[in-house]
Structure 1
Amino acid sequence: MLKRYSYLLVAALLATATARAQTAPPETRPLLGFEPASAATELQLEKQFDAQLKADNLRQWMKRMAAHPHHVGSPYDKDNAEFMAALFKSWGYETRIDVSYVLFPTPKLRALELVAPTRYVAGLAEKPVAEDATSGQTAEQLPTYNAFSKDGDVTAELVFVNYGVPKDYEELERRGIDVKGKIVIAKYGGSWRGIKPKVAAEKGAIGCLIYSDPKDDGYAQGDVYPKGPFKPETGAQRGSVMDMPTFPGDPLTPGYGSTKNAKRLDLSKATTLTQIPCLPISYGDAQPLLAALAGPMAPADWRGALPIPYHLGPGPAKVHLQLAFNWKTEPIYNVIATLKGSTLADEWIMRGNHHDAWVNGASDPLSGMVAELEEARALGELVKTGWRPKRTIMFCAWDGEEPGLLGSTEWAETNAKAIQEHVVAYLNTDNSDRGFLGVSGSHTLEKFFNQVGRDVPDPEKAGMSIIERRRAYDLVEGSPDAQKDARDRPDLRIGALGAGSDYSPYIQHLGVPSMNVGFGGEGQGGEYHSIFDSFDDFTRFKDPTFAYGVALAQTMGRCVLRLADADVLPFEFQNFSNTVAKYGTEVKQLAETMRTETDKQAKLLTENRYEAVADPTKTLLPPKAKEAVPYLNFAPLDNALLKLEQSAQAYAQARKANSTLPAGRQKELDQLLYQAEQLLLSTEGLPRRPWYRHQIYAPGFYTGYGVKTLPGIREAVEERKWAEADEQIKRTAAAVERFSAQVSRAAAVAAPGPAQ
């Protein structure tokens, strides 16, 4: 519960938001990219759009589409695609279903048992509940498993590794514990699931188990399902463990589309499969295994909420893990619905959400998919009144997202040339529920999105926009940096994109400006990737009235409408410049902090004082000595950031001085604006993962979904690869300079007078 001052703060922000609304009537609010007259027309159109939105449509579509499991390869997955295609066609869209053929393994054998010091056979099954109408569809459900785990039959001692991230293994090493030849058991959380078997294999483990501890996801949070929303004893999280930080998409067609006749790698050559067998289990199945461990007690912050002492092992617990999979190629169905633009048809606005799920998938992904459908329906109604978008709008329903962004990646790789020539922006949603706005994306769209969010009312806070409610949350609950930004910046700072949904191929491989938007924070629960992600669960605990589903449709509908109809595309570069400069400061501070810590550690080790300082009980080994951190040359990056600041300012001044451009220059400017992001790509890509080409944003090699900004530099510094860090500074600086030169060209076209 928020403290009393939190409520006072929210109340103050509510009053501020209301005052702003009173002093700035909606019809007079400026819109980035619109001249005053066309801005007024646009705002009126958005009122008509809002009037069309109906929560009951979202409810009925979710109930229908979540009625059966619809994973890749299932009959209902195809049925849902055909259902959506029929809807789009009925609303006036040119609609087709594009089919790709992808590797999708399903389990044919799963076995886990504790063989010493006692015996326990894991159930590996989720127990249906009477209160959930679809949880008992056992014959149609995929069992609990990790897709793209390796086949294997292993028996070994067990070691508890906390969340199984690199720093956890450092703690084990300090306790003299080696996982080589062992099976590890890790908690969900702390990183994306695929990082856990990846790091375990690097450390020499031969198998990996992953469970959700009730401290993080279960009865320690509140009542479990169906009484409450949290994970019950038999609940388990399915999910892919493909090495997506290397590349997403079909493992057998790396970098090119998996069309029916595409050349495919032999399975033994696929580099994004795990190197060891990996299996998710429930906390009910995890408890007997953990209870059988001996050895040192786990650090206090590693211990969960199970009623057992948390020991590290290894042993005497010994487990047998056996997995075998059907390595089949399955069709996936991407629904593409197009509304052609009237005057700028060769500029495309793409709006996407995936439709496949691990089981019934009401929250993930249908909460976002049904909002997208309602946006498309409402736009179809506007067309009936005589409106037509200037630019082409494409609504996409992706298949195969859950196993590894298969549908969106394969479609992007198949159509890469057309995408880079025509796509203005890609707008993504995924699962969404009640609560606070969450938005990440290209910071060239940050000011644009702030104007969108300014004009969408929050469903639960009358008189407050979704942006202002998010600002209130950041002021109270945010990190120190988020609190400072919320106080000091006129615009809400949006997050950076890592991985985890279908925007990844568009921004990180092809350089398309992208955004990912949703709501959350109040629809708590442990249904994720389980049989309990159902219509019954969603309508009880997530968004019962679909009010936030409508808010999502209002938000994304405005994004689509404004991008489609703007006189000049609403890109802005000063916020981007400010944000990238912040990233530059962070990587420099990272290197300096590492230098200070390394010097301090070296001094303590030299003086043989480390144990006395860090471990008075003398039960830990001293850390290994680390190489000194050199002084890196950040001058190329600093100079590039200065050029970026100057070009961003020049463009802002040009647009301010000249808001009206002739049609020919508008089109020339548009292309310069939306293709600028492509200049932040490098042809070489990131070290050891060339598929990721963006030099500003990428998923972390050891974080998975989590973003690394200035990734080439940051990860080289974190991994103490100093020569690589110097090279990545130069490469990143070159990308920023290319981008700055494009912004300067845009400023010249936008400036008053004849085109320059």
Structure 2
Amino acid sequence: MNTEDPTNGNEESQPLIHHGRTRENSVASIFARGRSNTINGLKTGYDTVKRHRVQFMYAVMATALLYLGFTLAFLPRTSLSRDFRRLHFSKLTKAETYRIYLESLQRENHAQQHLRTYTSHRHLTGDEDALQYTVDELKALGFSLKLEKYYPWLNTPVDTGMSLVIGGNTVFESEMMEDFVAEDPSSSGPHPVRAFHGYSANGNVTASFVYCGYGKSEDYDLLKDHGIDLKGKVHIIRYDSMFRGLKVKNAEAHGASAVILYTDTFDDGNVTEANGYKAYPHGPARNPSGFQRGSVEYFTEFPGDPTTPGYASKSPNTKRTSPMGKIPTIPSIPMSQRDIAKLLPHLNNKGIAFDVGGNVKGFEYFSGPSDPDVQVRVFNQQEYKIKEITDVIAEIPGILGGSTIIIGNHRDSWTVGGAGDPNSGSSILLEVARGLSELVSKGWRPLRTIQLVSWDGEEPAMLGSTEYGENHASRLQKQVLTYFNLDTAISGSQFKCEANPLLSELLRKSAASTRFSGKPDDTLLDVWESQSQGHVGILGSGTDFAVFQNHLGIPSANFKFVADGRDDAVYQYHTNYDTYTWMEKYGDPGYHLHNTMAIFTGMAVLQLSENEVVNFSVHDYIKDIGRYYETWYEMLNQTFTGNEFMQEKARNLSTLITHIVNHESLAFDHQTASLRKLVVRDYPWYKIHNKISIYINLTKLNAKLKRLDRLFLTDRGLKDRDWMKHAIFGPDKLLGYKGDVLPGLHEAVLGGSSQETLEWLHLLHKQMRLVKELLAS
């Protein structure tokens, strides 16, 4: 059978036959062919992509545009307010923020635990135990802390004494200490504090004595008019609302060799033993053995370390100046009503009788002086040295940079107790911190930075806050929006609020959001209005807001519950009976007022922090300035009758203020209200330019509001107290604690100085012009 030849007879084309693997099927040849095929494939693929890349790019772009269009078509409308939180990954809405804060404090109340711990031992300035407790509690809440140390010059007590000496013989000697009462454990505990005055001069004086009433200027004028011999005598003065340091200053100016300050229960109002009430601990009246300790440094003129005026004592080696002119040069001591009753009856029928009487047994309120052989010995020994103090600062960073809200309270006390002053506020500060910590744990970030500060050394002279303010003055003026102060926060049932009028409306809104004392149907605003028609008082001095409002021009507020003078128990101020036992029996049984104040404080902070537009009321501020100015304007016209040039200047300023009240301030607040609505209005994505415009206006307006109060600062300060820089607010020069409005002008008119009055009219006119330009720009 014939078979077809596959080679077609071409023998040379036939392959050689080998036994085993052929060369073409070797491993090397397989890899070589694979590499060649891969390269060829890549080249082919590249050529294909190259030929179709335009079509490919179009396809990608079309897909992206389709996706973007689909996304934008269903993108929700948003407001600038919500955008702030989304962009910064804040997980809570404004409403949720308020709700969680309120629920956290309504659910629990730790104020009793805090108060009992703070008041279980003596904690004078620089105390380590109170510092450690504050640090531990804040750290347990998750806060990272900054501890700032300062080194002021101040005194600690060594020994004090008062003796009645008749004919050269000592017939009575005060123990300089309250009675121990078994019903009050902390008042009878170890390490009690002997009665003394902060920054009192050392001395040992034995001399005749004279009763000088309240030690006010009018009291001394009365004594001088009747020829009462004051020089070289020990001046006995009763406490009242006037700052004790100014009482000692007045006495020294009138020739006193020493001063004794005592508490007369007549000034306690209705609740006194004389009116049938029992004394503490058996009743609500004042215990007559109580000594009101306190500072006599002139801190209503120059607070802080008297050896570093205007700058911080940042180290033990800080350069220092003489404290002369800022502290007394004569010794002073506090005294109880019971012990002063051993002296004062010796003045009966000597000198003149004062119109205002009192409750000192056997005393008919004559001035004296005492007979030459009836004398009092005043002994005061204090150790003065540089002492370390520590401020504790906790911070929650905000979304919007450059704005900070500070809540502050001091923790140092004069005694073992200090339940009302200051540790009711210390407890509330920690409760506010707990509520804010709860928010942070749930992913909240405030719009504005919030700081909680525990000051040290307030009692001697607002040392911690003043040194801090002087140390960081420039930064604080740039960043801090407002300062809220908690001092002696709970000592009665009457709500009292003092604040820069810029904050008035904010505080009322916060009070409306605060349930009062756990009662579901009553708000704090309801109680506030029923008690005082919602009155907002004027800030003076005497506590930690002074450096912020009076020196740096930072709008401040100070709020508290105080005794009403009618039905409330008498607050045992700065005595050894200001204890948690008194607080739980009379001051705030159940700690409901502590809880109310913690909620109110936190809500005020959140209302200011969580609203994009700063909640300041410019109209309220300028209106208050105008109201007080009209009073001084009338006084000026009466004082400088016939001075046409003076009266024209005063009239021009009156016209300017009235114009700002009726035009610029109203227009600015209207602009603020309009912007507040725009910030929360929702816009579609394609109107992003609207949001940008709103944001620019928001930034400008908030900057104006922050700057406003700084415009009232002066380089010159007030006369004879140039640390007080604010032209609108300052402490009353004669009373100290009480506030004065337009104090520089007021003092110039009272003093009858045409030159100073003209200077203040010129300065205030310049400041009000700047305010007008700021609001209108």
Normalising by structure 1, we get a TM-score of 0.83
User: What CA deviation, in whole Å up to 9, does each residue of 1:77-132 have, x standing for no partner?
Assistant: 22222222222222222212111111221232323222236732222221111011
SS class of match (1:344): coil
| Cα shift at 1:463 | 2.6
| Cα shift at 1:530 | 1.2
Partner in structure 2 of residue 240 of structure 1: 295
Partner in structure 1 of residue 691 of structure 2: none
Q: For 2:508 and 2:472, how far apart are their aligned partners in 1? A: 31
Q: For 2:335 and 2:653, how far apart are their aligned partners in 1? A: 46
Aligned letter for 1:505? V
**More deviation in 224-233 or 402-411?**
224-233
**More deviation in 81-90 or 143-152?**
81-90
Aligned letter for 2:375? K
| Contact 2:111/2:591 (<8 A) preserved | yes
**More deviation in 172-181 or 703-712?**
172-181
| Contact 2:316/2:386 (<8 A) preserved | no
Is residue 451 of structure 1 aligned with residue 506 of structure 2?
Answer: no
Partner in structure 1 of residue 133 of structure 2: 83
Is residue 637 of structure 1 aligned with residue 653 of structure 2?
Answer: yes
Partner in structure 2 of residue 122 of structure 1: 174
Q: For 2:463 and 2:487, how far apart are their aligned partners in 1? A: 15
| Cα shift at 1:462 | 5.5
Match of residue 131, structure 1, among 180, 183, 186: 183
| Cα shift at 1:652 | 1.9
Aligned letter for 1:357? S
**More deviation in 41-50 or 413-422?**
41-50
Aligned letter for 2:99? K
Identity %, equivalent residues:
29
| Cα shift at 1:467 | 2.1
SS class of match (1:660): helix
Match of residue 355, structure 1, among 411, 430, 444: 411
Partner in structure 2 of residue 60 of structure 1: 113
Relative to structure 1, the CA distance from residue 593 to residue 43 in structure 2 (aligned partners, 3 Å threshold; closer, same or farther) is farther
Across the aligned residues of Structure 1 and Structure 2, the Cα RMSD in angstroms comes to 2.6
Structure 1: 5+ residue stretches without partners: 1-32, 475-485, 487-491, 600-629, 746-756
Partner in structure 1 of residue 159 of structure 2: 109
SS class of match (1:345): coil
Is residue 588 of structure 1 aligned with residue 645 of structure 2?
Answer: no
**More deviation in 642-651 or 189-198?**
642-651
Match of residue 580, structure 2, among 535, 554, 567: 535
User: What CA deviation, in whole Å up to 9, does each residue of 1:460-485 have, x standing for no partner?
Assistant: 766332223222223xxxxxxxxxxx
User: What CA deviation, in whole Å up to 9, does each residue of 1:247-283 have, x standing for no partner?
Assistant: 10011111011111553435x5443111321110111
Relative to structure 1, the CA distance from residue 130 to residue 55 in structure 2 (aligned partners, 3 Å threshold; closer, same or farther) is farther
| Cα shift at 1:697 | 0.6
Is residue 504 of structure 1 aligned with residue 531 of structure 2?
Answer: no
Partner in structure 2 of residue 23 of structure 1: none
| Contact 1:181/1:206 (<8 A) preserved | yes
Q: For 1:108 and 1:657, how far apart are their aligned partners in 2? A: 62
Relative to structure 1, the CA distance from residue 652 to residue 325 in structure 2 (aligned partners, 3 Å threshold; closer, same or farther) is same
Partner in structure 2 of residue 47 of structure 1: 99
| Contact 1:420/1:510 (<8 A) preserved | yes
| Cα shift at 1:134 | 1.1
| Cα shift at 1:431 | 1.4
Aligned letter for 1:246? E
Q: For 1:595 and 1:171, how far apart are their aligned partners in 2? A: 27
Q: For 1:450 and 1:315, how far apart are their aligned partners in 2? A: 54
Q: For 1:302 and 1:354, how far apart are their aligned partners in 2? A: 36
**More deviation in 587-596 or 273-282?**
587-596
Aligned letter for 2:187? S
SS class of match (1:274): coil
Q: For 2:515 and 2:489, how far apart are their aligned partners in 1? A: 17
Instruction: Write the mapping of 1:433-582 to structure 2, written as runs, cut at 5 A.
Output: 433=490, 434-459=492-517, 463-474=521-532, 486=533, 492-521=534-563, 523-582=568-627
Instruction: Write the mapping of 1:340-489 to structure 2, written as runs, cut at 5 A.
Output: 340-341=397-398, 343-359=399-415, 360-433=417-490, 434-459=492-517, 463-474=521-532, 486=533
Aligned letter for 2:346? A
Aligned letter for 2:732? G
Is residue 258 of structure 1 aligned with residue 275 of structure 2?
Answer: no
Relative to structure 1, the CA distance from residue 331 to residue 575 in structure 2 (aligned partners, 3 Å threshold; closer, same or farther) is same
SS class of match (1:301): coil
Aligned letter for 1:274? P
| Contact 1:159/1:314 (<8 A) preserved | yes
Instruction: Write the mapping of 1:193-204 to structure 2, written as runs, cut at 5 A.
Output: 193-204=244-255
Q: For 2:459 and 2:757, how far apart are their aligned partners in 1? A: 34
User: What CA deviation, in whole Å up to 9, does each residue of 1:423-467 have, x standing for no partner?
Assistant: 111111111234232111111111111111122232276633222
Q: For 1:299 and 1:595, how far apart are their aligned partners in 2? A: 34
User: What CA deviation, in whole Å up to 9, does each residue of 1:215-257 have, x standing for no partner?
Assistant: 1245336321111233223210000000112210011111011
| Cα shift at 1:591 | 4.2
Is residue 184 of structure 1 aligned with residue 241 of structure 2?
Answer: no
| Cα shift at 1:592 | 5.8
User: What CA deviation, in whole Å up to 9, does each residue of 1:288-322 have, x standing for no partner?
Assistant: 11011141352232444433322210111422222
Partner in structure 2 of residue 98 of structure 1: 148
Relative to structure 1, the CA distance from residue 655 to residue 309 in structure 2 (aligned partners, 3 Å threshold; closer, same or farther) is closer
| Cα shift at 1:329 | 1.4
Partner in structure 2 of residue 653 of structure 1: 670
| Cα shift at 1:36 | 14
Aligned letter for 1:47? R
Relative to structure 1, the CA distance from residue 137 to residue 684 in structure 2 (aligned partners, 3 Å threshold; closer, same or farther) is same
Relative to structure 1, the CA distance from residue 184 to residue 422 in structure 2 (aligned partners, 3 Å threshold; closer, same or farther) is same
Relative to structure 1, the CA distance from residue 589 to residue 44 in structure 2 (aligned partners, 3 Å threshold; closer, same or farther) is farther
| Cα shift at 1:736 | 2.7
Is residue 283 of structure 1 aligned with residue 337 of structure 2?
Answer: yes
| Cα shift at 1:636 | 4.2
Structure 2: 5+ residue stretches without partners: 1-79, 86-91, 680-693
Q: For 1:731 and 1:206, how far apart are their aligned partners in 2? A: 41
| Cα shift at 1:739 | 2.8
Q: For 2:81 and 2:384, how far apart are their aligned partners in 1? A: 52
Q: For 1:704 and 1:437, how far apart are their aligned partners in 2? A: 22
| Cα shift at 1:526 | 4.0
SS class of match (1:255): coil
Match of residue 739, structure 2, among 660, 684, 707: 707
Relative to structure 1, the CA distance from residue 275 to residue 720 in structure 2 (aligned partners, 3 Å threshold; closer, same or farther) is farther
Instruction: Write the mapping of 1:144-159 to structure 2, written as runs, cut at 5 A.
Output: 144-159=195-210
**More deviation in 351-360 or 519-528?**
519-528
Partner in structure 1 of residue 37 of structure 2: none
| Contact 1:146/1:239 (<8 A) preserved | yes
| Cα shift at 1:493 | 4.0
| Contact 1:85/1:96 (<8 A) preserved | no
Partner in structure 1 of residue 52 of structure 2: none
Aligned letter for 1:514? S
Normalising by structure 2, we get a TM-score of 0.81
Q: For 1:34 and 1:426, how far apart are their aligned partners in 2? A: 24
Aligned letter for 2:672? R
Is residue 219 of structure 1 aligned with residue 273 of structure 2?
Answer: yes
SS class of match (1:545): helix
SS class of match (1:220): helix
Partner in structure 1 of residue 61 of structure 2: none
